[in-house]
Amino acid sequence: MDVHNKTIAQLSQGLKAGDFSSAELTKHYLDRINTSELNAFITVTDELAMEQARAADDKIIKGNAGILTGIPYAHKDIFCTNGVKTSAGSKMLDNFISPYDATVSHKLNQADLVMLGKANMDEFAMGSSNENSYYGDVKNPWNVSKIPGGSSGGSAAAVAGRLAPFATGTDTGGSIRQPASLCGITGLKPTYGRVSRYGMIAYASSLDQAGPMTQTAEDAALVLNVMAGFDEKDSTSANRDVEDYTENLNDSIKGLTIGLPKEFFSEGLDDEVANQVMAAVKEFESMGAIVKEISLPNSAYAIPTYYIVAPCECSSNLSRLDGVRYGYRCDDPKNLDDLYLRSRSEGFGEEVKRRIMIGAYALSAGYYDAYYLKAQKVRHLISDDFKKAFKQVDVIMGPVSPTTAFDLGSVKDPVSMYLADIYTLSANLAGLPGMSIPAGFSQNLPVGLQLIGDYWSESKLLNIAHQFQQQTDWHTQTPGDKS
C-alpha cells in the first residue's frame, strides 16, 4: 500500500515501528503537494514542516512520542499560525503574518503534529464551492473540472488527493461536511463550543465551529481528541470535560434509532444521491438499526434564516479590516474616508462584499426587527424541531448536499449557490454536531451521508460512522491517478 493511502492510525503504527520516519513521511507529502494541480494549499511550509518532523522523530526515538507525534496535516488558512501567513483566502490578509497561534494551532503543535501548510479556502469561509478564494479555485481530486465544495475545499481536496493524512476545517453552515461529502472523505463538525474559536478568523461567531477532516471516523476521533476542549480565551467555549473519542468506536449499534426527516428527501434532491443515501440507511438496518420517518417542519426556513444571521455577524466581524490596523491598505489614500473605502473595496472579493452589505442593511435601524430579530426567532424554531426529534430518535440521517460536485464555473448566481447548503445549515443554526461519511458514488463522484446528533454526541456519531466503515469500503476508495 502506498504510504499516502494509510490512515492516521496506520501511520502512527508505522512511525512507532520505525517503518518510516516522520521526516520521510513529511517529505513524501511535500513532494506530492508541490507537484499537485489541485491548488489545495495557499502556503506550503516546507522548512517548518521538516523541522517539526525532525523534532518529532527525536521524540519517537527517545520513546516520548504521543499517538499523533510526527503525523503531517494540512491546516485551513483560517487558523492563526504564529509567524506564518494566515490569509483566510483573502487579498485583505495576503500580507498578514499572524503574531500568535490559534488555540487549535497550539494544541496541534503540543501534540507534535507536523504542519505541511495552510489549506486553500473560500474567502473568509464564505462559499460552497471554493471558487471565492483570492488564491484561485481548488479542484476536486475525483475530477479536476469539478468543484471540491467549500469553504474548506482545500482541506477536503488535500485529504482526498492524499496530499495530507488529515486536515482541519471549519463549518459555519456546512463547510466541513459539504466538501467532505463532495470529495469522499470523513468530516466532523462538533457541537458549537466544543472546539475553541480563539484565533480562528471569525466569519459568523455564533455558528463557526472547527473540526477534523480525515479518511476515517477512527482518525476523526484521534484528531478531535487533540482539537477539543475548554478554552478560557473563548467565552463561547464549553467548560466540559473532553472524552476520549476513540473509546466507544467499537460499541454495537444494534437497536439504534435513525430518524429520516421527510423534508430532507423532497424536491431538489438528485435521484442518484437519494438512492445512495437510502442504500447506506439500509446498510444500517442490516446492522440492527431501526429507521423512523421524522419531521423537521421548519427546515425550509434554514436558508433564509442562515443568510440573514451569517451576513449580519460577518458584517460586524469584518469591520476590523479597515486598512488602518492590519491587512491590506490601498495606495496613496487621499483622506480617512478614502482609506476605508478603497482599502475595503480593493481588499475584499465580490461575495464577501455582498454579505457585508446584506448584513449591514439587515442590522440597520428600522430593519433590525424585520430581519435579524425575526431570523433569531426562526432559529429557535429550527432548534426546537431538533429537540423534539431527539426525543424520538438517537441520530438523524440524510444527504449532505443535494447533488454531487458540480462543474467549476457552472453556478453563477449567488442564490443558486446558497441552495447547495439546504441540508447542512440547520445543524449550525441549532449548534448540533454533524458528520459526513462516504456512502457511495454517482457517476464516479462521491456521495456523502450526513449524520446529525444531539448536543455533545460526538462520541456516538463517531461510533455510528466507525461501525458503518467496518461494513463498507467507500471511505477507502481513492481518486488514484485522476489527480
Fill in the per-residue mask, 281 to 310: x = in contact with ligand GLN (CB under 6 A), - = not in contact. Answer: -----------------------------x
**Choosing from 98, 129, 175, 196, which is the catalytic residue?**
175
Told to check if 172 binds ligand GLN by CB under 6 A, we report yes
Query: Taking the alpha carbons of 14, 17, 18, 22 in that order, is the dihedral positive or negative?
Result: positive
> For residues 50 and 27, is the Cβ–Cβ distance under 8 A?
yes
Indicate which single residue of 71, 80, 125, 362 sits in contact with ligand GLN (rule: CB under 6 A).
125
Task: Find the part of the chain contacting ligand GLN (CB under 6 A) among 45-53, 172-180, 264-272, 328-336.
Answer: 172-180
**DSSP letter for each residue of 244-290:** -TTTTTT---TT-EEEEEGGGGSTTS-HHHHHHHHHHHHHHHHTT-E
CA distances from 13 to 6, 29, 92, 155 (A): 10, 18, 42, 24
> For residues 431 and 455, is the Cβ–Cβ distance under 8 A?
yes
Any idea of the CA torsion for 122, 127, 130, 131, to the nearest 10 degrees? -100
- Total interface residues for ligand GLN by CB under 6 A: 13
Told to check if 219 binds ligand GLN by CB under 6 A, we report no
Indicate which single residue of 81, 133, 151, 215 sits in contact with ligand GLN (rule: CB under 6 A).
151
Task: Find the part of the chain contacting ligand GLN (CB under 6 A) among 110-118, 170-178, 320-328, 470-478.
Answer: 170-178
Q: How far is the CB of 313 from ligand GLN (least distance, A)?
A: 11
Told to check if 90 binds ligand GLN by CB under 6 A, we report no
210-214: strand order across its sheet:
41-44, 114-119, 72-76, 167-170, 210-214, 186-189, 434-442, 445-453, 395-399, 257-261, 290-294
Residue 151: active-site member: yes
Told to check if 426 binds ligand GLN by CB under 6 A, we report no
Query: Taking the alpha carbons of 168, 170, 176, 178 in that order, is the dihedral positive or negative?
Result: negative
Q: How far is the CB of 101 from ligand GLN (least distance, A)?
A: 21
Indicate which single residue of 70, 72, 127, 438 sits in contact with ligand GLN (rule: CB under 6 A).
127
Measure the CA–CA gap between 439 and 428, rounded to whole angstroms.
22
Q: How far is the CB of 424 from ligand GLN (least distance, A)?
A: 7
Cβ closest to ligand GLN, residue 72 vs residue 173: 173
Cβ closest to ligand GLN, residue 372 vs residue 474: 372
Residue 76: active-site member: yes
* Cell numbers linked to 145: 473540472
The residues binding ligand GLN (CB under 6 A) are 125-128, 151, 171-175, 203, 310, 421
Please identify every residue annotated as catalytic. 76, 151, 175
